[in-house]
Amino acid sequence: MRQGGKDELALDGGTPVRTSAFPSVSNASGRTLGQEELDALRRVIESGQLNSTIGPETRVLEGEFADYYGIGHAVASSSGTAALHLAVAAVDPDPGDEIITTPITDAGTVLPILMQNAVPVFADVDPTTGNLDLASVRDRITPRTRAILVVHLFGAPAPVAALRRLADAHGIVLIEDCAQAYLTRVPDGRLAGTVGHIGCFSLQQSKHITAGDGGLCITDDPALARRMRLFADKGWPRDTDERTHLFLSTNYRLTELQAAVARAQLPKLAGVVSARREAAKRLTAVLEPLAGLMPPLDGGGMSYWLYPVIIDPDAAGGSCHDYAKALAAEGIPANGGYLTRPVYRTPVLVERRTYGTSGYPLCSPPAREVPDYRAGLCPTAEQLIAERLIVLQWNERYTDDDVDDIAHAIAKVHRAFTE
């Protein structure tokens, strides 16, 4: 037993802090869906135009989203992963060309690189944010580098201004993965997604706004926008009224039903992000004095897709996995490490499970060398996953009581572990 009496951990047989469910992105309790979305669906169904090649909803959504972000072009697609694939395809790498990205992300960031026959190159991350480390990215650039694909992890702004300067200096493209970062602002005030050459967003179930699935890319470059639009529609230039296919691509079209729901969601986005930020302030105020626990270093621009905490195991009395197990017993949804392993240690890369048994493009040729996705490749990322990063589920529907329960549970576990 770590501690007796009323503060005894639920893990050791004590009373949990929380026994009722929190609002969740997995159901209506944690989603901002309502009559507006139902009306939008009815509008599309009554029109009989469910496909974006004949209906107006997808094109209108693109215009509204571009205007929302104050940028020239938006291109819709069927998922956030598809949006990233559109961006990589717009870069048009040759087989074996390299794209630098992060090891702490969903596979949807990395798989489009492979799908375009390019080689993922992993740079290490900042130990306080989990976002790409500028110096590590700089060290990974080679003559084969065509792009940097940066993730704004958990809605925290990555150093995209410096990365854009680095990309421009080397004549390469900066792609921002903003799936977790709607309305995230970088320190100079710009919105995430508008600093790089292309910004990519997801409308998946768990994101700030949702259409179940769907993706959007934004850019101020008309050539990149046109190539992405063609890639989402089999390379078919419908604007020229020709039934032809200009290059190898696929069908990533968004449906009119998804677009209509996304249009109804968009006016709610600012409120969603604002509510998440306000709730986060309440929790941060409790966590800041706790030794060994570092809440997000937020200058006001984070959009809190999740709420990450960095742990110093020596000072906090346990690793992120120890805390996650104890918090789960207290009824708090928490995840130690976020991932089970860095993305580069997954079988698709380590075992080169790509096209049959060829290992292509992770072979030489076309790569300049066979990539080595060994343990130890990105030591900071590996340490975060192994012992230092814990993420808490977060939601715009959290009440003050919900946040207070989370804070109480963390303080309870911290007290037990440190005393």
pLDDT of residue 7: 83
Q: Is residue 397 part of a domain?
A: no
Between CA 407 and CA 230 the distance in angstroms is 48
Q: Is 412 a catalytic residue?
A: no
Between CA 311 and CA 383 the distance in angstroms is 11
Q: Is residue 221 part of a domain?
A: yes
pLDDT digits (tens, 9 = 90+) for 277-295: 999 999 999 999 999 999 9
Q: Is residue 119 part of a domain?
A: yes
Active-site choice (207, 234, 281, 412) = 207
Q: Over range 116-126, report the average pLDDT.
A: 98
The SS3 call for residue 302 is coil
| 178 pLDDT more than 70 | yes
CB 136 within 8 A of CB 123: yes
| 315 pLDDT more than 80 | yes
DSSP E strands in 282-363: the ranges are 293-294, 306-311, 334-336
Q: Is residue 390 part of a domain?
A: no
In the chain, the amino acid numbered 37 is E
The tally of domains found in the chain comes to: 1
Could you count the other beta carbons within 10 Å of the beta carbon of residue 335? 18
Question: Which has the minimum average pLDDT: 2-6, 218-222, 403-407?
Answer: 2-6
pLDDT of residue 5: 53
pLDDT digits (tens, 9 = 90+) for 224-269: 999 999 999 999 999 999 999 999 999 999 999 999 999 999 999 9
| 149 pLDDT more than 60 | yes
Query: What is the domain-level CATH number for residue 256?
Result: 3.40.640.10
Q: Could you tell me the residue range of the domain that residue 57 belongs to?
A: 35-268
Q: Is residue 180 part of a domain?
A: yes
| 3 pLDDT more than 90 | no
Q: Is residue 99 part of a domain?
A: yes
Q: Is residue 171 part of a domain?
A: yes
105-110 long-range contacts, CB within 8 A, separation 24+: 105/151, 105/153, 105/177, 105/343, 106/179, 107/343, 107/346, 107/348, 108/79, 108/80, 108/81, 108/84, 108/179, 108/202, 109/84, 109/149, 109/151, 109/177, 109/343, 110/343, 110/349
Q: Where residue 6 falls among pLDDT bands split at 50, 70, 90?
A: low
Between CA 263 and CA 138 the distance in angstroms is 39
Q: Where residue 88 falls among pLDDT bands split at 50, 70, 90?
A: very high
Q: Is residue 314 part of a domain?
A: no
pLDDT digits (tens, 9 = 90+) for 354-364: 999 999 999 99
pLDDT of residue 1: 34
Residue 245 in tokens? 């296919």
